[in-house]
Amino acid sequence: MKHAVDIAAAVNAKESSASAELQSSLSVIEEKNGAINAFLYVDTDGAKKFAAEVDARIANGEKLPLAGVPVAIKDNLCQTGVPTTCSSKILADWRPPYTATVVERLLAAGAIPVGKTNLDEFAMGSSTETSAFGPTKNPLDLSRVPGGSSGGSAAAVAADMTPISLGSDTGGSIRQPAALCGLVGIKPTYGLVSRYGLIAFASSLDQVGPFAKTVADAALVLEVIAGHDPMDSTSLPEPAPSLVAHVNDGVKGKRVALVKELYEGADEEVIASVKAAVAALESAGATIVEFSIPELRLGLSAYYLIAPAEASSNLARYDGVRFGLREQGSDVTEMYEATRTAGFGAEVKRRIMLGTYALSAGYFDAYYGQALKVRTQMIKAFAKAYEQADMLIGATTPTVAFEFGSKTSNPMAMYLSDVFTIPTNLAGDAAVSVPFGTGENDLPIGVQILGPGRSEATLLAAARVLEIADGRA
Amino acid sequence: MTLPNGWEMVVGLEVHTELKTATKMFCGCANAFGSEPNTNVCPVCLGLPGSLPVLNKMAVELAMAIGVALHCTIAPSTFHRKNYFYPDMPKDFQISQYDLPINSRGYLDLPDGSRVSVERAHLEEDTGKSTHLGGSGRIHGADRSMVDYNRSGVPLVEIVSGPDIRSSAQARAYASELRGILIATGASDGRMEEGSMRIDANVSVRKSGDPFGTRCEIKNLNSLRSLQRAIDYEALRQIEVLEEGGTIRQETRHWDENHGETSTMRTKEEAEDYRYFREPDLVELNPDQGWQDRVRAALPPMPAARRATLEGLLGEVTDAQRDAIGTVVELDLDDYVIAAADAKVDVAVAIARSANEIAADIENVSKLSVEAFVNTVSLEQKGELSATQAKKVLSVLLESGGDPASIAKSLGFEQMGADALGDLVAKCIEENPSEWQRYREGDEKLSQFFIGQIMKLTKGQANGKAVIAELQQRK
């Protein structure tokens, strides 16, 4: 499939049309989605209408940054009239009456949302195996997971169904599937991208970001969706940063720190890729340092208190009263219980219970309160690291894509697949996963580049250096 | 009411007031009472998945105005989530303020000179309104429940007093004075019957000088009368339990207005664990000094200051006049009295007419111009209208507006000429020689007898002062 920048250029130049680009995307989806299950819902009619509108705008002389580019939307982002399920039975039939800010911005930029992609239920998982509607297969090896929670959005791009897609990243849910599917994935700085219309998992950690096959495409999508939104109080006040223009800035003179806690425990082949990436950045003119940030080891524990605590409150509204599933009960309490028992899967229930416990009177200080202190320590540790380096480098995931069922019986093993990505979410900083090298069965390996808040341009320029060094573009 | 056997009550009040903003606290929906159910709603106030709150600036401003009026410290504050399940709360949590409220540590001075501390006055959102059909009227056992989310997300300020109140009358005075302040700041319309001001009372009893007793919280106090009755009932109930050797359980009690009693809603053991934590969808609220100063400068005079102004116009003030002034200020009729004073018209009469005649028809006050009011009182003072006539003229003015002199004329109140009155007085003297004799010999009380006779003859239209003048002339 063509890259987004090429499609937009062709449509803007009237060498192609949005309707034609959509048609080729729909054909691939038609052909492959049955085996892969990337899309839960393909909005064929809606997408055709959007494509016709874009073609009319182009005919009117408009130039649009994403003219006619098909895009897949993670099914936890609201779009008016289109089913939005979070891959949960509790929202199986829910159609929102409003559209998320990020989707509005894609539409304004000429992109064509073609449908909604699978995820772990309420974005809680690392493999799409907790989806109520069946897992998504990794297009590179159908016996393996695509990663999660944004596995459907990653698979859609990896399978050439769409050139770009949107995911959300609470503890690695963009970067981990990007790594496992051989894609570029960005977890933007907290507040850079609006969360209005993103169905919350853990509000202080959630952030929407793009998947793409190239750094340039990922930069273009982020540039379109970023920037202040008055509907989101946590949205940063500054205008969106310029990213596309800086993709080829290189890393000359940049200080890159290899951080032990961001790769130790990973498979040998993964560590080898990280070290090769460091060497590639060095030969492109970066200065390499190595240090340790011991606080990062506490990230996983703090995350599994803070994220479930917020989730236990965010998911309270799925009570059968106003929307979504309702099971009958003899009184309101029984109705709540029956609805939530039938509507939520095991992982969601596990996290609601964890979070409820962590916030309970008598336990708050020991669990949630303590986790907040760890979070503060982590923010300080990162800030100190960024005094000594412009960016940090490590692995995105400990392993390449794993096989279905290999971690489902052991939640801790599954949680550990996010051990390198979680610290960035706790700090609210930016990080990018970029493919670099391959491992077992020729499966892709993702290298993670981390930077302080609003450092996306710097991180994408470094990712671009690796993309070239890896012979990908 | 005095409590028996040296018992003393200790009361603290939590007053919730809806803020008079145009839109809701976290979305752009209209904040309006009485609309068709579920018409002022959107994804945010319905708590739809993916929606986010954005704080209403006007709500912050009104909360600060309340804080300033209650002498509170305004400080950087945060929002928390109070988590519990209830169908009229769309998100199943309420956004409120917890450890860092916008206003803290203030006080309220009551008309009797006592001071009640205000611990905090914080912002929070209102819930929807439930109606339960069938059963007991509560949610459990109801056949069917209906929820109107128009009220969901309406901004509230909760004002929490210290445990400083020692009688139900003082509690009532506090609530009444607070209501006046809320109205004066423009923060609230203070309509208890519409639920825009709601009160919970924490009541305990002790022997004077002992430490505080165990308290009970009484809910559902929808009028000042209920507040006073419920506190008295609850204090006596607790005293009875204690005097019989029992102990008070900390609990929430429901006030039943019809039966005049409180009953257990839930005990402390049944109380919810609200699992408060910082609302991650909102940022810290930190109104800068300039904003605070603008709110302070824009604040109109509070009721206490306005009462002092009116009392100053009288000089010496009787208890009845103090009450009347309270009514004038409560009903916002100060302008009528002040205009009368400016026109050198009798202030005492102006206060009486405002607190009685205007107050009786307050819904129509907009029809009565200040000028017409002053003219009417002036005619009364000059003796051109009797008190009865002046009251009648005011009632017509309140009904349909107009010019006092023309109204008096159309009602046939045109001043009886001095000659006509003189003739009547002369006739009366002739018909009542022995009373006249006693009056002439110095029994001044008999002037009232003659006024009564003249009033009878004129059907109340004569002016009492003019009658006395005629009597004096003939002495």
Residue B451: give its domain's CATH number: 1.10.10
Verify that A359 and A397 share a domain, yes or no: no
ipTM of the complex: 0.96
Please name which of A406, A327, A430 lies closest in space to residue A145, comparing C-alpha atoms: A406
Please name which of A80, A81, A162 lies closest in space to residue A117, comparing C-alpha atoms: A162
**Nearest CA-CA distance, residue A115 and chain B, Å:** 18
Please identify, among B298, B322, B345, the residue that sits at the C-terminal boundary of a domain.
B298
pLDDT for residue B263: 92
Higher pLDDT among residues B461 and A104, named by residue: A104
Verify that A165 and A191 share a domain, yes or no: yes
Question: What letter would DSSP give residue A429?
Answer: -
Please identify, among B410, B436, B463, the residue that sits at the C-terminal boundary of a domain.
B410
Whether residue B173 lies inside any domain: the answer is yes
**pTM for the full predicted model:** 0.91
Verify that B344 and B457 share a domain, yes or no: no
Verify that A307 and A455 share a domain, yes or no: no
Q: What is the mean pLDDT of residues A270-274?
A: 98
Please identify, among A366, A392, A411, the residue that sits at the C-terminal boundary of a domain.
A366
Please identify, among B268, B298, B328, the residue that sits at the C-terminal boundary of a domain.
B298
Phi/psi at A273 (nearest 5 deg)? -65, -40
Closest by Cβ to B85, choosing from A94, A309, A316: A316
Whether residue A356 lies inside any domain: the answer is yes
Whether residue A240 lies inside any domain: the answer is no
Using an 8 Å CB-CB cutoff, list chain A residues near B282: 233-234
Whether residue B227 lies inside any domain: the answer is yes
Render B370-387 in DSSP notation, one character per residue.
HHHHHHHHHHHHTTSS-H
Verify that A229 and A84 share a domain, yes or no: yes
Verify that A280 and A397 share a domain, yes or no: yes
Verify that B370 and B459 share a domain, yes or no: no
Choice among A222-226, A323-327, B266-270 with the minimum mean pLDDT: B266-270
Please identify, among A337, A366, A395, the residue that sits at the C-terminal boundary of a domain.
A366
Q: What is the mean pLDDT of residues A389-393?
A: 98
pLDDT in tens, B423-471: 888 888 888 888 888 888 888 888 888 888 888 877 777 777 778 888 8
Cβ–Cβ of A96/B43 closer than 8 Å? yes
Using an 8 Å CB-CB cutoff, list chain B residues near A97: 43, 48
Whether residue A246 lies inside any domain: the answer is no
Render B11-40 in DSSP notation, one character per residue.
EEEEEEEE---SB-SSSSSB--SSPSTT-S
Closest by Cβ to A195, choosing from B52, B81, B87: B52
Verify that B71 and B200 share a domain, yes or no: yes
Please identify, among A366, A394, A414, the residue that sits at the C-terminal boundary of a domain.
A366
Verify that B218 and B276 share a domain, yes or no: yes
Verify that A105 and A185 share a domain, yes or no: yes
User: Do residues B147 and B88 lie in contact, with contact meaning Cβ atoms separated by under 8 Å?
Assistant: yes
Verify that B141 and B249 share a domain, yes or no: yes
Please report where in the chains the tokens 């005629």 appear, as a residue. B470
Q: What are the beta bridge partners of residue A116?
A: A41, A73
Verify that A259 and A305 share a domain, yes or no: no
Choice among A41-55, A81-95, A445-459, B402-416 with the minimum mean pLDDT: B402-416
Q: What is the mean pLDDT of residues B338-343?
A: 94
Q: What is the mean pLDDT of residues A227-234?
A: 98
Q: Percent of chain A having pLDDT more than 90?
A: 96
Please give the tally of structural domains in chain B. 3
**Nearest CA-CA distance, residue B56 and chain A, Å:** 11
How far is it, in rounded angstroms, from Cα A185 to Cα A172? 10
Distances in Å between the Cα of B258 and the Cα atoms of B5, B172, B219, B230, B253 are: 29, 19, 15, 11, 15
Q: What b/e string do you get for A322-336 counting C-beta neighbours within 10 Å, with b at 16 or more?
A: bbbbbeeeeebeebb
Choice among A60-64, B50-54, B134-138, B199-203 with the minimum mean pLDDT: B134-138
Beta strand A444-451 pairing with A430-438: antiparallel
Verify that A105 and A218 share a domain, yes or no: yes
pLDDT for residue B245: 96
Verify that B399 and B422 share a domain, yes or no: no
Higher pLDDT among residues B144 and A210, named by residue: A210
Verify that B402 and B327 share a domain, yes or no: yes
How far is it, in rounded angstroms, from Cα A100 to Cα B88? 25
A interface with B, Cβ–Cβ < 8 A, is 76-78, 84, 86, 91, 94, 96-98, 100, 195-200, 202-204, 230-234, 309-310, 312-313, 316-317, 319, 321-323, 331-333, 336, 356, 359-361, 364, 368
Q: Percent of chain B having pLDDT more than 70?
A: 99
Q: Percent of chain B having pLDDT more than 90?
A: 73
User: Do residues A198 and B50 lie in contact, with contact meaning Cβ atoms separated by under 8 Å?
Assistant: yes
Cβ–Cβ of A203/B281 closer than 8 Å? yes
Model confidence at B160: pLDDT above 70: yes
User: Do residues B450 and B464 lie in contact, with contact meaning Cβ atoms separated by under 8 Å?
Assistant: no
pLDDT for residue B193: 87
pLDDT in tens, A414-465: 888 899 999 999 999 999 999 999 999 999 999 999 999 999 999 999 999 9
Closest by Cβ to A233, choosing from B47, B48, B54: B54
Residue A73: give its domain's CATH number: 3.90.1300.10
pLDDT for residue B453: 84
Q: Domain of residue A396: give its range.
A: 255-298+378-469
Whether residue B2 lies inside any domain: the answer is no
Selected residue of B130, B277, B278 to mutate for chain A interface (largest A Cβ count, 10 A) = B277
**Nearest CA-CA distance, residue A231 and chain B, Å:** 6
Verify that B133 and B280 share a domain, yes or no: yes
Q: Which residues contact A440 (CB under 8 A, 6 or more apart)?
A: A267, A269, A400
Model confidence at A108: pLDDT above 80: yes
Whether residue A80 lies inside any domain: the answer is yes
User: Do residues A177 and A169 lie in contact, with contact meaning Cβ atoms separated by under 8 Å?
Assistant: no
pLDDT for residue B417: 61
Whether residue B220 lies inside any domain: the answer is yes
Higher pLDDT among residues A52 and B134, named by residue: A52
Torsion of CA A33, A39, A44, A47, to 10 degrees: -130
Please give the tally of structural domains in chain A. 3
Q: Is the dihedral of CA B308, B313, B315, B319 positive or negative?
A: negative
Verify that A342 and A464 share a domain, yes or no: no
Whether residue A249 lies inside any domain: the answer is no
pLDDT in tens, B225-256: 999 999 999 999 999 999 999 999 999 999 99
pLDDT band at B384; cut points 50, 70, 90: confident
Verify that B441 and B293 share a domain, yes or no: no
Verify that B333 and B285 share a domain, yes or no: no
Verify that A402 and A284 share a domain, yes or no: yes
* Beta-sheet strands, E only, within A118-273: 164-168, 184-187, 208-212, 255-259
Cβ–Cβ of A96/B93 closer than 8 Å? no
Residue A456: give its domain's CATH number: 3.40.190
pLDDT band at B473; cut points 50, 70, 90: confident
Verify that A320 and A283 share a domain, yes or no: no
Whether residue B183 lies inside any domain: the answer is yes
Selected residue of B56, B281, B285 to mutate for chain A interface (largest A Cβ count, 10 A) = B281
Verify that A318 and A178 share a domain, yes or no: no
Question: What letter would DSSP give residue A120?
Answer: S
Verify that B350 and B425 share a domain, yes or no: no
pLDDT in tens, B301-327: 999 999 999 999 998 899 999 999 999
Whether residue A248 lies inside any domain: the answer is no
Q: Domain of residue B455: give its range.
A: 418-474
Model confidence at B163: pLDDT above 70: yes
Whether residue A250 lies inside any domain: the answer is no
Whether residue A245 lies inside any domain: the answer is no
Model confidence at B346: pLDDT above 70: yes
Phi/psi at A235 (nearest 5 deg)? -70, 135
Choice among A206-220, A279-293, A421-435, B125-139 with the minimum mean pLDDT: B125-139
Choice among A412-416, B38-42, B59-63, B361-365 with the minimum mean pLDDT: A412-416
pLDDT for residue B418: 63
Whether residue B171 lies inside any domain: the answer is yes
Whether residue B1 lies inside any domain: the answer is no
Cβ count near B8 (within 10 Å): 16
Verify that B370 and B263 share a domain, yes or no: no
Q: What is the mean pLDDT of chain B?
A: 92
Please name which of A73, A16, A126 lies closest in space to residue A408, comparing C-alpha atoms: A126
